[in-house]
C-alpha cells in the first residue's frame, strides 16, 4: 500500500482528510501500542503527550505501528526503513517539508494517533503549552526527533557497534543499538540488532522501579 503524502497546500485546508482513529489495544495497554521489540520501554503504550528522541531517527518508526500516524520534516524515512519496522504504509501520512511546523503538527494532531516530527524552530512557552493541551484533548502522541524541553519522557538511541553476519549464504551488516527511555526517576533500555531484513531484539533492562 502507498504512503499518503500531503503537501503544504493541502495542509492549508480546514482539516487534513478525515481518518479513522481505531487503535487495537491489547492486554493492559492503555496508550498507543508500539513495535513489539519496544514494548518493554512503553509497557502501557504511548501517552497523550510529547516525547523527545535523540539518535538514529528511524527507530522512531517503531512507535508508528498502530492506528493512523504521520511523519513531518523527515523525508529520509521511507521505503526500506518503513518496511523494516513493520509500519503500515497505507496508514502513514508523510509531510516532507518542515515549513509551518506548528500549524502542520497541530493539524495532524486533530486527525492522527501518533505524529513523529523533526525538531521545531524556537517556540514560545505559550505555544508549547497549547500544543500539549491539544495532544491531551485529542489523545494523540507527538514524538520529536531532537531537543524538546517540554518533553517529560526522553528516548535515547546509542550505537553499540557494527558486525558482519553470514547466514544461509546471505551476508549482511548488523547495526546494534541501545534504546533507552527515561521518565522521572526510572529508565528502561533494550538492545536491538538491525539489518536489511528487519529488527531483532537482544536484551532489555529496567532501572528505578515501575514507571508512573
| 7-16, 22-31, 75-84, range with greatest mean pLDDT | 75-84
Give mean pLDDT, residues 7-26.
46
Comparing 125 with 206, the larger pLDDT belongs to 125
Q: β-strand 92-95 against 69-72: which pairing, if any?
A: parallel
Q: What is the pLDDT of residues 61-72, one digit of tens each?
A: 999 999 999 999
Comparing 25 with 102, the larger pLDDT belongs to 102
Whether 17 has a pLDDT exceeding 60, the answer reads no
Angle made by CA atoms 95, 142, 86, in degrees to the nearest 5: 70
Comparing 74 with 123, the larger pLDDT belongs to 74
Whether 178 has a pLDDT exceeding 70, the answer reads yes
pTM for the structure as a whole: 0.84
Closest listed residue to residue 35, CA positions, set 63, 16, 4, 7: 63
The domains of the chain, with CATH numbers, are: 30-155 (3.40.50.300)
- CA dist 97 and 72 (Å) reads 7
Q: What is residue 15's predicted lDDT score, i.e. its pLDDT? A: 46
Reported confidence tier of residue 97, pLDDT bands at 50, 70, 90: confident
**Burial grade of 5 (CB within 10 A; 0-12, 13-18, 19 or more):** middle
Q: Kindly state the cell numbers that stand for 64.
A: 508508528
Q: For 18-27, 161-170, 194-203, which range has the lowest pLDDT when averaged over its residues?
A: 18-27
Amino acid at each position: 500500500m502507498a504512503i499518503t503524502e500531503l503537501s503544504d497546500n493541502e495542509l492549508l485546508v480546514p482539516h487534513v482528510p478525515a481518518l479513522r482513529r481505531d487503535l487495537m489495544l491489547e492486554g493492559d495497554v492503555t496508550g498507543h501500542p508500539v513495535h513489539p521489540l519496544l514494548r518493554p520501554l512503553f509497557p502501557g503504550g504511548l501517552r497523550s503527550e510529547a516525547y523527545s528522541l535523540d539518535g538514529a531517527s528511524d527507530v522512531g518508526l517503531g512507535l508508528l505501528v498502530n492506528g493512523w500516524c504521520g511523519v513531518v520534516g523527515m523525508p529520509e524515512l521511507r521505503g526500506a526503513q518503513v518496511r523494516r519496522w513493520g509500519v503500515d504504509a497505507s496508514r502513514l501520512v508523510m509531510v516532507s517539508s518542515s515549513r509551518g511546523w506548528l500549524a502542520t503538527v497541530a493539524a495532524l494532531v486533530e486527525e492522527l494517533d501518533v505524529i513523529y516530527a523533526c525538531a521545531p524552530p524556537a517556540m514560545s512557552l505559550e505555544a508549547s503549552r497549547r500544543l500539549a493541551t491539544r495532544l491531551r484533548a485529542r489523545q494523540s502522541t507527538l514524538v520529536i526527533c531532537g531537543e524538546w524541553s517540554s518533553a517529560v519522557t526522553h528516548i535515547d538511541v546509542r550505537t553499540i557497534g557494527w558486525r558482519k553476519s553470514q547466514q544461509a549464504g546471505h551476508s549482511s551488516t548488523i547495526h546494534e543499538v541501545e534504546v533507552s527511555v527515561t521518565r522521572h526517576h526510572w529508565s528502561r533500555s533494550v538492545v536491538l540488532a538491525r539489518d536489511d531484513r528487519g529488527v531483532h531484539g537482544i536484551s532489555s533492562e529496567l532501572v528505578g522501579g515501575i514507571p508512573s
